[in-house]
Structure 1
Amino acid sequence: MDQGTRGELISRLTEAIRSVTTPHPLRVAIDGAPASGKTTLADELAVVLRAQDRDVIRASIDDFLVPRAQRYRRGQYSAEGCYFDAHDHAALCRVLLDPLGPGGNRRFQTAVYDAETDTPSSQPTTTAPTDAVLLFDGVFLLRPELIDQWDLRIFVSVPFEQTIDRARHRGAALASSTADIERSWRHRYIPSQQLYFTTARPTDHADIIVYNDQLQRPTWEVRPPALGSFVRQIRYPAGGAP
């Protein structure tokens, strides 16, 4: 377990990404609960990798939602609905993860859904360079349907109560209702994460866990070989495995 500054964390993660070798674009999952900081982390990594002349593809599970009527068919505050009904995993694999994976043609799309209009999204197809990096953030990324689609798996861990505090703060900036935020987190998002942990055990499959409760002094853990896939493909830098 290591602790350091935010910059040290980003440096360590970019080093890990550079160290993984695949014959196709590298597919990095950045998983975590809502308001854990996974999107911010993915954006930070993208900035650094692009500055190092790496071609980066940024995408999010939010662009692979299903239509609202299907998402909420069990009710707006259903935890089971959040976990089982919210995302189009088949489309995610079809248009993004499979094309970038082994044997893929590298022709991909980063979205199939527009949340603002609640309609399908039609994006042009792009061809990725062989050495591109996909930084994909979202919830439930290490579930059985997706677990083998990633070449590097990062899990961002934050206590659930702290995610509520962050959501309230974010909601205040957007003039959202504090009561609605509280209800959504306590009845939908947190219980769905608890269901995820019970059924999929995501931290058992993570290659790297980032403990993100202290944003400027995070702690991180690179998992040992028996617990993660990271060491199957990584070439550790000088000094050996952490």
Structure 2
Amino acid sequence: MQVSPVTPARLVDEVVELVDARPGRVRVALDGPPPTRPLDLAERVADALRTRGRMAVVVSAGDFLRPASVRLEFGREDPDEFLDGWLDTGGLRREVLAPAGPGGSGRVLPRLWDAVADRAHRDRYVELPADGVVLLAGALLLGRGLPLDLAVHLRMTPAALTRTLPDDEHWTLPAYARYAEERDPEEQAALVVLSDHPERPALRH
């Protein structure tokens, strides 16, 4: 395995280059636990794409969680349910990934569910042009059969994740361990970013 340190700005360029190498609409997952800041990376990639004249829509997986009555059926701190049952994959497919795919309408809904208020977002649909890009950012996204064109995995070692996750989120650690072992996100990603220190990323080749 080769490792190449990069600046955060260069990391953005690397993702943009992967997107630009694909024609038509592109659906990208930026996958990593919260301390790796996948949403921040998605926003910076979107800004870079827009400067090149390419429309990009950032979608947070946190806005596509299932209702609390379903998500928390087995309690608020069930790591298995956190891994397998929190994300509304059906909603993501229906409202974002299918419309943004080949032959899709291009009409995507950036936010579906407000998990804090536990009600639907009153968001407007966005018309994605023929070369538009969806940047889906969040954790535990890969290995679910979601229709994606590219994936970037922000990898954090268990020790770093334990150190950087807030104490009240340590109950999720078994879910991340299962994810790494069972879903093998590194094998599904076009780009693996070593993110123990997000301000000093490195690419794994």
Q: Could you tell me the TM-score, scaled by structure 2's length?
A: 0.91
Matched with 1:160 is 158
Encode CA deviations 1:81-118: one digit per residue, 9 max, x unaligned: 10122111001100110000012111111121012311
Give the residue type in structure 1 aligned to 2:145.
E
Conservation of the 8 A alpha-carbon contact between 1:4 and 1:217: yes
Encode CA deviations 1:125-165: one digit per residue, 9 max, x unaligned: 2221011111110112112331xx11111000122332344
Work out which of the two has the higher radius of gyration on C-alpha atoms and give 1 or 2: 1
Conservation of the 8 A alpha-carbon contact between 1:37 and 1:212: no
Paired residues for 1:189-200 under 5 Å: 189-200=172-183
Q: How many residues align?
A: 203
Aligned partner of residue 100 in structure 1, secondary structure: coil
| Gap runs ≥5 in structure 2 | none
Alpha-carbon separation, structure 2, partners of 1:217 and 1:197:
22
Note the aligned Cα RMSD (angstroms): 1.7
Given the alignment, which residue of 3, 6, 14 partners 1:4? 6
| 1:123 and 2:123 matched | yes
Matched with 1:225 is none
Alpha-carbon separation, structure 2, partners of 1:209 and 1:126:
30
In the TM superposition, residue 58 of structure 1 has moved relative to its aligned partner by: 0.7
Give the residue type in structure 2 aligned to 1:69.
S
Q: Could you tell me the TM-score, scaled by structure 1's length?
A: 0.78
In the TM superposition, residue 205 of structure 1 has moved relative to its aligned partner by: 0.8
| Gap runs ≥5 in structure 1 | 168-180, 223-242
Alpha-carbon separation, structure 1, partners of 2:195 and 2:9:
13
Identical counterparts, % of pairs: 26
Alpha-carbon separation, structure 2, partners of 1:96 and 1:103:
13
- Cα 1:140–1:53 change in 2 (3 A) is same
Give the residue type in structure 1 aligned to 2:164.
R
* More displaced 10-residue stretch of structure 1: 45-54 or 57-66: 45-54
Conservation of the 8 A alpha-carbon contact between 1:96 and 1:109: yes
Return structure 1 stretches of 4+ with deviation > 6 angstroms: none
| 1:98 and 2:98 matched | yes
Given the alignment, which residue of 18, 21, 24 partners 2:20? 18
Encode CA deviations 1:194-230: one digit per residue, 9 max, x unaligned: 12223211111111001122333311135xxxxxxxx
